[in-house]
Amino acid sequence: MKTRFLSAILITTVAIIVLACSNKKEEGNAQLIDKAVATATHAAQALVATNHTDTLAMQNSILEAKALQAEFQVAEDTAAINAFNRAFKKYLEDHDPNLAREIFIERPSDLPAGAEWDEFEQRVEEGK
């Protein structure tokens, strides 16, 4: 009887600890996602503000954005990485659609369903 009681207390305690940890992780995850969105928006603002005729400055702004994104890659938080990518792209689409079209490649219509696609890949022009 005493063993059953101790087992019930132990199971209850473990359940409470697990729930508490999962809530903390979700809070931390939400904070990291919010930070990713703010960071991406700031990086996209800097890119839009860059003189578009200065290719070196444009390249530098893009590299800085990628470096900022690395924080979320190091944290291995896929949700934060995706939030960064979506926020960066959305800002560019809203504030400089021509630049967004130059940076982000649309998924080819002939790509098989389920095939991996990275809209952040560089364009590869045929014949070059």
- pLDDT band (50, 70, 90) for residue 39: very high
Per-residue burial over 62-100, b = 16 or more CB atoms within 10 Å of its CB, e = otherwise: eeebeebbebbeeeebeebbebbbebbbebbeeebeebb
Residue 117: per-residue pLDDT: 64
More confident residue, 58 or 20: 58
Residue 98: per-residue pLDDT: 92
